Amino acid sequence: MSLSKWVGVGAGWFLAGPIGAIIGYYISKSFFDGKNDQEKAYELSLLILSSLVIKSDGKIVKSELDYVKKFFVNTFGTQKANKYFEVFNKLNKQSLSSQLRPVCQQLNSYVNHASRLQIIHFLFGVSASDNEVHPSEVKLIKRIAGYLNINKYDFESIQSMFLFEGTEASLEKWFAILELDKNASNDEIKKAHRKMVIKYHPDKLQGVSQDIKKLAEEKFLLVQKAYENISKSRL
């Protein structure tokens, strides 16, 4: 179904478009007191997209469910998180794959690039919560990134935050986060660090609540840690 048709379908609910059409039956308008459509769409898209990622390897793992629940508890408090998780459990019983692209299209019209990067970071967090980033999950997250107009360099930078183990691999990870080759010069490292600080700064997020902005600090701190560890390795 096209995005324009979904807008019509969802018009009678708390939110228009495919996101409202998918979840409109489960959440009342009063649940989102004080939030605009962009914030509603963003928060609900996390439920829809994480449900798709969790199911992409053919099994639903408890650790991944727990990661999503903990995320919403830490972000919105227990009472509201429990309501979100009720919706999440219902979504996990639905087939939503056909709505992946329309949901991403709606997000593109609602939130900026920095906010969409945060979605990819969240989805990799879900995938890695069982200590295994399954190839089918990576494939789906990459597809989502494409629909969200996120390029391969940004995708690989975020992916590297959740991959690699061991001393040598860790150094490779820090370079990957800054989108650098390990042979980069000190000047290139400094330049890349400045660029990534601007790109991943929490204040760059738009169309999201303050609660979501707080969680963006994790990605920002990893950029800082990458620069510090690379700098130490050059001493």
59: which residues sit within 8 A by CB, 6+ positions away?
Answer: none
Query: For residue 2, which of 103, 145, 96, 107 has the smallest C-alpha distance?
Result: 103
- Select the more confidently predicted residue: 131 or 191: 191
Is the confidence at residue 165, as pLDDT, over 70? no
Which segments of the chain are extended strands (E)? none
Q: Summarize pLDDT for 187-233 with one digit per residue, the tens.
A: 999 999 999 888 888 888 776 766 677 767 877 888 899 999 999 98
Closest to 76 (Cα-Cα) out of 125, 126, 31, 122: 31
Amino acid of residue 185: S
- Report CA dihedral (62, 66, 67, 68) to the nearest 10 degrees: 110
pLDDT of residue 8: 35
The full set of domain ranges for the chain reads: 3-233
Mean model confidence pLDDT for the chain: 82
Per-residue pLDDT of 14-26, as tens digits, reads: 466 888 777 766 6
Instruction: Map tokens 């490292």 to a residue.
Output: 189
Kindly report which listed range (30-34, 127-131, 132-136, 146-150) carries the lowest average pLDDT score: 30-34
Q: Looking at residue 1, what is its pLDDT?
A: 40
What integer pLDDT is reported at residue 152 of this predicted model?
93
Q: Check pLDDT > 60 for residue 167.
A: no
Secondary-structure breakdown of the chain: helix, strand, coil percentages, each rounded to the nearest 5? 75, 0, 25
Q: Give the integer Cα–Cα distance in Å for 140 and 124.
A: 10
Which token pair is 35? 């939030």
Which DSSP string do the residues of 15-53 spell out, in sequence order? S-HHHHHHHTTTS-GGGGTT--HHHHHHHHHHHHHHHHH
User: pLDDT at residue 10 above 50?
Assistant: no
Could you tell me the pLDDT band of residue 34, with boundaries at 50, 70 and 90? low
Q: How far apart are the first and last CA of the chain?
A: 57
Q: pLDDT digit string (tens) for 74-101?
A: 888 888 888 888 888 888 888 888 889 9
Instruction: Go through 27-41 and write b for each residue having 16 or more CB atoms within 10 A of its CB, e for each that does not.
Output: beeeebeebebbbbb
Distance CA 235, CA 64 (A): 39
Dist CA 18 CA 27 (whole Å): 14
Sign, Cα dihedral of 205, 208, 210, 212: negative
Count helices and strands (H / E) in the chain: 13, 0
Q: Using only C-alpha atoms, what is the Rg of the chain? A: 18
pLDDT at 139: 95
